[in-house]
Structure 1
Amino acid sequence: MDKSVLKRFNDLRILLVEDDDLLRGIVFDALSLYCQDVKCAKDGEEGLSCFHSDNFNVIITDINLPKMSGLAMAREIRKVNSEISIIILTAYDTSDNIYASIDICACAFLHKPFELEQLYNTLLMCVGKIVSTNQWLDLARGFSYNIKLKELFFEDKEIHLTKNESRLLSILIDHVGKTVSFENIEGNVWYDKSATPETIRMHINKLRSKTYYELIENIQGYGYKLLPKANIPLEK
């Protein structure tokens, strides 16, 4: 495949979940040549933990995994992320597996054994879906935010966000111009864990340090809101 085409993988951050050591190594090496970041897990539980601790835009997973199947892991991921592209790998393309893959809205179904060319072509299809669903918000002063991919940029350069920072910015953008309460932030960012107002304020200040202070307004005693002027669509 032409290397100019493979450059389209530059922005991909991939989670590869595969219990076969040899195949995992081969696929990791092939993806690492062109993708921004590739992380690996060898079972479904580890894969789910990796997903919750980092930001990915593509997941490649085997179905038959130890501890938790790839499909069970994908169902858990879909509960919190309906947009991420999921590629299913399996040596057993039974009707049950195919229907289950459709049910979790898998981007593609790749039958083992496969050639690297097939893997690259499948990724290209996912890249097309990612690009076609991009939506941007102008956050002013050179900052922009990709709503679908949940990524923050400054003058077209991505700014790294931790998982909690990404969730926090996402919920503020979902309610742009409206106040988001401490309770709403706690439930959507920390889920079943508790977070004090001080913890939330610390994460707000981290976001401000990566953007600018005035972007997020403090509503005393209630919560925070993103300034209404941020709600300006960008053409990209």
Structure 2
Amino acid sequence: MRILLVEDDVMLGESMVASLSRHGYTVDWLQQGNGVELSLNTENFMAVILDLTLPDTDGLDVLRKIRHTGHSLPVLILTARDEIDDRVKGLDCGADDYLTKPFALEELLARLRVLIRRLSGQTETILAIGELSLSLKNNEVQYQGHPVKLTKNEFKLLATLVTQAGKVLSKEKLQQALHGWDDLTSDNAIEVHIHNLRKKIDGKLIKNIRGVGYIIEN
């Protein structure tokens, strides 16, 4: 599950990247707003965490551009602007949620889980596809009522497929979900992870659409 973080505070940004990574997210970090549109046009993200006070532009202008160009992915504003008028402007400009600084990591993680559940069309904390259940909170998976031990990347890959169930995801998009800009990966990494997941859960759950990608159907 890949997140785009737009935050100019270096100490806060480094802390958020480390914390979110520990909780199963792949995080790419921009310290200015001008690169957001290009990043969203060329990469596959599940959500954006957006600061409003950026060195090169106002975060609300970034948000307006995101929505004007048709990007519908969830945007969570994270800012020190805590006036009611600021909150209203942020939400009216297209934000899905608004969290003020200082904040608790636990609350940020909970709000991200809500946005991802909405994206997947599910309302429960535990996402379920048939006999498979996946907890975004605890990074745990069960199949037929039994716990399944997955590696960090196997969980990321499975969570990406489950939260976008019914959609065919190309190998490139799945690679982007696992690896940020600074990560290196082999060309066959996705096939290896899919093979391992099929051994650990129902081998027919993850389907290969030849020449297109992979899908988990509801």
Interval of TM-score (by shorter of Structure 1 and Structure 2): 0.5 to 0.7
Larger C-alpha radius of gyration, 1 or 2?
A: 1
Spell out, residue by residue over 1:15-69, the C-alpha distance to the aligned partner (whole angstroms, 9 max, x if none).
0000000000111111112335211000111233322221111000101111122
Amino acid of the structure 2 residue aligned with 1:66: P
Name 1:96's counterpart in structure 2.
85
Name 2:72's counterpart in structure 1.
83
Name 2:156's counterpart in structure 1.
none
Contact 2:168-2:212 within 8 A present in 1 as well: no
1:91-130 paired onto structure 2 within 5 Å = 91-130=80-119
- Return the alpha-carbon distance in structure 2 between the equivalents of residues 81 and 150 of structure 1: 21
Tell me the SS of whatever aligns to 1:66.
Answer: coil
Name 1:159's counterpart in structure 2.
171
Structure 2 residues without counterparts, runs of 5 or longer: 123-160, 175-208
Name 1:23's counterpart in structure 2.
12
How much has 1:89 moved relative to structure 2?
Answer: 0.8
Name 1:46's counterpart in structure 2.
35
Contact 1:14-1:38 within 8 A present in 2 as well: yes
Structure that is richer in helix per residue: 1
Amino acid of the structure 2 residue aligned with 1:50: S
The CA RMSD over aligned residues, in Å, is: 3.0
Amino acid of the structure 2 residue aligned with 1:56: F
Q: Which residue among 8, 13, 34 is the counterpart of 2:2?
A: 13
Number of residues of Structure 1 aligned to a counterpart in Structure 2? 144
Amino acid of the structure 1 residue aligned with 2:72: E
TM-score (norm 1): 0.53
How much has 1:80 moved relative to structure 2?
Answer: 2.6
How much has 1:104 moved relative to structure 2?
Answer: 2.5
Q: Which residue among 16, 21, 24 is the counterpart of 1:32?
A: 21
Name 1:58's counterpart in structure 2.
47
Query: Structure 1 residues 151, 65: CA separation in 2 closer, same or farther (over 3 Å shift)?
Result: farther
Q: Percent same amino acid at aligned positions?
A: 29
Tell me the SS of whatever aligns to 2:76.
Answer: strand
Tell me the SS of whatever aligns to 2:69.
Answer: coil
- Return the alpha-carbon distance in structure 1 between the equivalents of residues 5 and 22 of structure 2: 15
> Relative CO higher for 1 or 2, CA cutoff 8 Å, sep ≥ 6?
2
Pick which of 113-122 and 42-51 moved more: 42-51
- Return the alpha-carbon distance in structure 1 between the equivalents of residues 106 and 43 of structure 2: 27
- Return the alpha-carbon distance in structure 1 between the equivalents of residues 105 and 113 of structure 2: 12
Amino acid of the structure 2 residue aligned with 1:210: G
Contact 2:5-2:27 within 8 A present in 1 as well: yes
Contact 1:151-1:159 within 8 A present in 2 as well: no
Name 2:60's counterpart in structure 1.
71
Structure 1 residues without counterparts, runs of 5 or longer: 1-11, 134-144, 163-207, 213-233
Contact 1:41-1:50 within 8 A present in 2 as well: no
